[in-house]
A and B are shown apart, each in its own frame.
Chain A
Amino acid sequence: MTTASRLTGPAAFLSTLAAMAQKELMIMLRYPVEFVASFGQVFLIVVVLTLAGLMFSPGGLRGAGGDSGTSGLVVYGFFLFMFMSDTLWTIGYNVHRDQKQGTLEILYLSPASKFANLLSRIVVTLVWTGLMCVMAAVVMSVMIGALPFHNLALGVYVLALALAGTFGVGFAFAALTLRLKETAQTVANLAQFAFMVLCAPFFPFAALPEFLQWAARLIPLSYGVDAFRSTLMGYPAGFPELAPIEVELVIVTAFGVLMPVIGYWLYRREEDVARMKGSLSEY
């Protein structure tokens, strides 16, 4: 077997992906302060938002613990919010970090798979954000009542596809980072706010004004949020809110399958432009 053939093919791809993912995880583990602080931060976000929500309940904090519908609505929306905001930040931020450290150009000169390089950034998000979601779920369950837990298999399916779509958005945002450089951070912030409002991760879509509900219907991820929490909550009256569950499943599936392809295509396009212009290491 020649040296060149050992660098291509599925085995080489998986080996590269494993090595790069291991590198990302090792970086994460070498900053224990950051590790613990992030956990603390999620804990406090959950506590602050939960306490805020409880101010509208009869009895406030004393009346907490009864309504599993509310906890399901908030917790399951919070899961997708965490993944979405992390993905928006992580992939683009990591590409930007490589630009700043001057290692992006070198990475692109190596024979390693560029897709594996991009995909490895997701591993940390999946492991880390997944852990934080579990912790957030436990904290919220203690504070505002047990979580509803129906249709687990379908819930996992919806979550997997919504996450796949989200990672596609992350790839597209990484492409934007190559083009906009420092400004991309501001765009990520604005996108995060738009998501917080239009995809309604912390409240039902019915709480939005009518015109914003229409805007929410134009975003595929809204259907992911709606389908995911409605499924796990066992379709209580009024849920799903945006469309019948069958329609939502089709949209979520299409989002999960197509968005990674589109996102990666956009990234490769921007990367080619940057290489031709010689701006890959500019930031």
Chain B
Amino acid sequence: MTVARVGRPSLSQNLSAALAEAQLRFTNISRYPGQLLTNVIIPIVFAAMPMLLGRATGGASAEANFAANTGSSNYVGYMLIGSCVFQFVSSTFFLVANWLRFEQETGTLEAVYLTPTSSATLLGGVVLYSTVRSLLPALVAYVVGCLIFGLNPFDGNLGLALGFIAAGLVPLAGMSMLFGAVVLKVKEANALLNLMQWVVSFLMGIFFPVAIMPPLLQYLAWLFPPTWMTNGVRSALLGVGYFFGHWYLDMAVLWAFMFLAPLLGWFVFRRTEQGLQRNEGMGQF
């Protein structure tokens, strides 16, 4: 009789496990269509708030004032892009954190860490799920929002805008691991995560250019990949202007983040994880 040996899983086995993890989550969310609908509605409603306020308070000169302050008179597109990218970014972060919190609360996190599948593989599957799950509703929200507010969603350099989003996916995935590390460490981290979502919105300039911030905050915003993604998409679609004057220079910065953010994210996540494993913290919540 041949006895199967438990050894290091191969790359294809790891890939298969990661895809299975992602598929599990897609199957789960398909049972809650209301949540997906909410993800589409949130950015549209959220963008409508400042639009309606601005339109009412700015009166006839609202458009001109907005152009003078932001570089684009298309405030509908500006706000929608900001809120859709924000929804995408914060949802990606939140879903990874939520996975860990859910496993902690249901008491399965310790068991998950005892399976031969590495946490990196499982995390990879969750990150894949959270990225796709966050991106698709955000894109749908942008198109629907444009149609509701009377804009052509396909105006501007759409290919370049999608290029900026694609280039931002990897840094985002890397940063989502930082959120995971926070949950592992702090545990009851709901309020902290909510706060971080708003920090994200502020730093990426959800409804305003980061140029209006004080210099120190501007530098901080530039260290944050979603800021480059948001401004890249806005520049490609609305022509607000790239940070470095040309699209390829801004894109190069995102590419640099593409290498740095996952390394940083994984380093912090792994350290937190190992610290907890050594100190009996994995099963506590």
Residues of A within 8 A of B (CB): 31, 33-35, 37-38, 40-41, 44-45, 47-49, 51-61, 67, 70, 73-74, 183, 186-187, 189-190, 193, 196-197, 200, 202-204, 206-208
Given A45, A186, A203, which contacts B34 in the complex, CB threshold below 8 Å? A186
Q: Is the CB of B191 within 8 A of A56?
A: no
Asked whether any CB of chain A lies closer than 8 Å to the CB of B75, the reply is yes
Asked whether any CB of chain A lies closer than 8 Å to the CB of B144, the reply is no
Q: Is the CB of A57 within 8 A of B58?
A: yes
Which chain B positions have C-beta within 8 A of A202?
A: 49-50, 52-53
Which chain B positions have C-beta within 8 A of A59?
A: 69
Per the bound structure, the CA–CA distance linking A58 and B45 in Å amounts to 25
Per the bound structure, the CA–CA distance linking A51 and B70 in Å amounts to 12
Q: Is the CB of B57 within 8 A of A33?
A: no
Asked whether any CB of chain A lies closer than 8 Å to the CB of B143, the reply is no
Per the bound structure, the CA–CA distance linking A60 and B69 in Å amounts to 6
Asked whether any CB of chain A lies closer than 8 Å to the CB of B38, the reply is yes
Given A37, A74, A204, A208, which contacts B195 in the complex, CB threshold below 8 Å? A37
Q: Is the CB of B75 within 8 A of A56?
A: yes
Question: For A45, A48, A70, A202, which residue has the most chain B Cβ atoms within 10 angstroms?
Answer: A48
Given A33, A38, A41, A48, which contacts B206 in the complex, CB threshold below 8 Å? A48
Given B41, B48, B61, which contacts A58 in the complex, CB threshold below 8 Å? B61
The number of residue pairs between A and B whose CB atoms lie closer than 8 Å in the complex comes to: 134
User: Other CB < 8 Å A-B pairs besides A60-B212, A186-B32, 5 of them?
Assistant: A44-B198, A45-B198, A53-B54, A196-B49, A206-B56
Which chain B positions have C-beta within 8 A of A73?
A: 53, 57
Question: For A37, A56, A70, which residue has the most chain B Cβ atoms within 10 angstroms?
Answer: A56
A-B contact pairs, 25 of them (CB 8 A): A31-B191, A33-B186, A33-B191, A37-B194, A38-B195, A40-B195, A44-B198, A44-B201, A47-B202, A48-B201, A48-B206, A52-B79, A52-B207, A53-B50, A55-B50, A55-B66, A56-B54, A57-B58, A60-B212, A190-B34, A190-B41, A203-B52, A203-B53, A203-B55, A207-B55
**Chain A proximity mask over B35-69: 1 for CB below 8 Å, otherwise 0:** 10110011001001110111111100110011011
Residue of A nearest to B54 (CB): A56
Q: Is the CB of A208 within 8 A of B52?
A: yes
Q: How close is B139's CB to chain A, nearest CB, in angstroms? A: 19
Per the bound structure, the CA–CA distance linking A59 and B41 in Å amounts to 32
- Of residues 154 through 191 on chain B, the ones whose CB sits less than 8 Å from some CB of chain A are 186, 188-191
Which chain A positions have C-beta within 8 A of B223?
A: none
Per the bound structure, the CA–CA distance linking A204 and B58 in Å amounts to 12
Asked whether any CB of chain A lies closer than 8 Å to the CB of B255, the reply is no
Which chain B positions have C-beta within 8 A of A196?
A: 45, 49
Residue of B nearest to A42 (CB): B198
Residue of B nearest to A208 (CB): B52
Per the bound structure, the CA–CA distance linking A60 and B61 in Å amounts to 13
Asked whether any CB of chain A lies closer than 8 Å to the CB of B208, the reply is yes
Asked whether any CB of chain A lies closer than 8 Å to the CB of B252, the reply is no
Q: Is the CB of A190 within 8 A of B57?
A: no
Per the bound structure, the CA–CA distance linking A207 and B51 in Å amounts to 9
Q: Is the CB of A41 within 8 A of B194?
A: yes
Residue of B nearest to A55 (CB): B69
Residue of A nearest to B53 (CB): A203
Q: How close is B126's CB to chain A, nearest CB, in angstroms? A: 20
Which chain B positions have C-beta within 8 A of A200?
A: 52
Q: How close is B95's CB to chain A, nearest CB, in angstroms? A: 15
Which chain A positions have C-beta within 8 A of B75?
A: 55-56
Q: Is the CB of B208 within 8 A of A44?
A: no
Whether A53 touches B190, Cβ cut-off 8 Å, given contacts A48-B198, A58-B61, A186-B34, is: no
Residue of A nearest to B61 (CB): A58
Which chain B positions have C-beta within 8 A of A67?
A: 57
Q: How close is A168's CB to chain B, nearest CB, in angstroms? A: 24
Given A44, A61, A186, which contacts B199 in the complex, CB threshold below 8 Å? A44
Whether A55 touches B208, Cβ cut-off 8 Å, given contacts A48-B202, A60-B69, A70-B57, is: yes
Whether A38 touches B54, Cβ cut-off 8 Å, given contacts A33-B186, A52-B207, is: no
Q: Is the CB of B191 within 8 A of A34?
A: yes
Q: Is the CB of B65 within 8 A of A38?
A: no
Per the bound structure, the CA–CA distance linking A238 and B42 in Å amounts to 30
Whether A197 touches B198, Cβ cut-off 8 Å, given contacts A56-B62, A203-B53, is: no
A-B pairs, top 3 by smallest CB distance, nearest first, are A56-B54, A52-B207, A52-B50
Q: Is the CB of B207 within 8 A of A51?
A: yes
Q: How close is A188's CB to chain B, nearest CB, in angstroms? A: 10
Residue of B nearest to A200 (CB): B52
Asked whether any CB of chain A lies closer than 8 Å to the CB of B249, the reply is no
Q: How close is A231's CB to chain B, nearest CB, in angstroms? A: 19
Q: How close is A58's CB to chain B, nearest CB, in angstroms? A: 5
Which chain A positions have C-beta within 8 A of B24?
A: none
Q: Is the CB of A44 within 8 A of B70?
A: no
Per the bound structure, the CA–CA distance linking A74 and B54 in Å amounts to 11
Whether A56 touches B66, Cβ cut-off 8 Å, given contacts A31-B188, A196-B45, A202-B52, is: yes
